[in-house]
Structure 1
Amino acid sequence: MRVLPLLFVLALTGCQSAYYAAAEQVGYHKREILVDRVEDAQESQQEAQEQFSSALEQMKTLINFDGGDLEAAYDKVKGEYEDSADAAADVSSRINAVADVAEAMFDEWEDELAQYQSASLRRDSESQLRDTRRRYDAMLRAMRQAEDKMEPVLKRLKDNELYLKHNLNARAIGAVGKEFGVLEQEVERVIAEMNRAIAESDKFIQTLNP
């Protein structure tokens, strides 16, 4: 099997160490993989922001429901919740992929320090490692904080969907409407955290690609 098809198979099966080894055979090093995965995580966060905003807008539409097919309106709310759950899962998966390759890169970097003959070059590399690790930790922390903020939004969306499922009437819509302000605040918080994480990601990528 050629290397490129092998990379695809290993990526699908989750054999990360073998994937990195095969990738290096074609000149695709961990640093480059890390940058690509950070950019993928940024994209997934942007998509999640759009999805949460869409779910919020659909809930607002239902709360302001003024005639028509109430069942169809509920189905849209349910669909927005399911899409939001999928978007959140993708964000978590992308962040985990970032963490996986970053740890592999840092471990390799640490191990290779012992191979230096020049003490000054080794010290310089150690300094770069510490600085890169510090910036990475700040980025990952921001990503995880944004990830944590998704859970309250998903729980509230699910609560609303379940309540409407079993009580699809004007009274139920009114009850959900009373909690809309809290949902709106939670969506605003998660979007703000994701924007902060994306900004930290941009700064980290700049340190890898000066």
Structure 2
Amino acid sequence: MPYFIAIFLSVSLLSGCQTAYYSAMEKVGVYKRDIMVDRVEDANQAQQNAQKQFTSALEGLKALNQFDGGDLESAYKDIDSQYKNSEAAVNNVNDRIAAIEDVANAMFDEWQQELALYKSATLKRDSQRKLQTTKLSYNKMLTAMKRAEKKMEPVLDTLRDNTLYLKHNLNAAAIGSLQGQFTSLQTEISGAIRDMNRAIAESNRFIGHLKK
């Protein structure tokens, strides 16, 4: 099967599964708006977890910089563990944001389509106005999330570089060579955490908007 056809079928199946999921949830009284709130809250928690993991990774590199004899293999394993945990935390944030985008597309498409069903011009205008303000709030939140998501990549890159370098250079001189990485990582993590906090603040405002 050609590659692009396989990709198309995979996306179609995933889209179909999501549509069936939303329909099933609606039958038990859980609507897309409710799912959206849950997923935004999950993304907030994922970002908070990523912040904690990044801070832990920074502490690990700080301890490595202060290394003064001991088990080099153990030092490498600790940094490798910090990198893997950070990678998992970032992947979780990415997945949570993708899940938000999925339900948002479904919710806004449905809302737009249902505008055509109104008989009352007044109610239709009011619903259309609320759709537009909700989209604006959502886009502001998503932009903040994407900005924070992008800031996580340099953190992972630095941690990966440190891990790979130590893996093939397990000696005290190698640790000395990594000392300059600490300041760089500290700056990257500070920037990522700052943007994640902004994204969380926007998320909370969006949730408040949906719950009005």
TM-score (norm 1): 0.92
CA-atom RMSD, angstroms?
Answer: 1.3
Q: Give the whole-Å Cα distance in 2 for the aligned partners of 1:15 and 1:72.
A: 45
| 1:72-128 deviation line (CA, Å, top 9, x unaligned) | 111010000000000000000000000000110000000000000000110010000
Q: Give the whole-Å Cα distance in 2 for the aligned partners of 1:204 and 1:57.
A: 33
Q: Give the whole-Å Cα distance in 2 for the aligned partners of 1:53 and 1:59.
A: 10
2:181 aligned residue (179, 182, 198): 179
**Residue identity in the other structure for 1:86:** A
1:36 aligns with 2:52: no
1:198 aligned residue (200, 206, 212): 200
What stretches of structure 1 move > 4 A for 4+ residues in a row?
none
Offset of 1:67 from its aligned partner?
2.3
Matched position secondary structure for 1:94: helix
Offset of 1:181 from its aligned partner?
0.4
Percent identity over the alignment is 57
Offset of 1:143 from its aligned partner?
0.5
Matched position secondary structure for 2:179: helix
1:86 aligns with 2:58: no
Please, which runs of 5 or more residues in structure 1 have no aligned partner?
1-11
**Residue identity in the other structure for 1:167:** N
| 1:8-61 deviation line (CA, Å, top 9, x unaligned) | xxxx99811100000000000000000000000000000000001101110110
Q: How many residues are aligned here?
A: 199
Query: Mean alpha-carbon deviation: is it higher for 36-45 or for 61-70?
Result: 61-70
Residues 35-74 of structure 1: pairs in structure 2 closer than 5 A: 35-74=37-76
Q: Give the whole-Å Cα distance in 2 for the aligned partners of 1:196 and 1:43.
A: 14
User: 1:139 maps to what in 2?
Assistant: 141
Q: Give the whole-Å Cα distance in 1 for the aligned partners of 2:16 and 2:148.
A: 25
Q: Give the whole-Å Cα distance in 1 for the aligned partners of 2:75 and 2:98.
A: 35
Q: Give the whole-Å Cα distance in 2 for the aligned partners of 1:175 and 1:42.
A: 36
**Residue identity in the other structure for 1:62:** L
Please, which runs of 5 or more residues in structure 2 have no aligned partner?
1-13
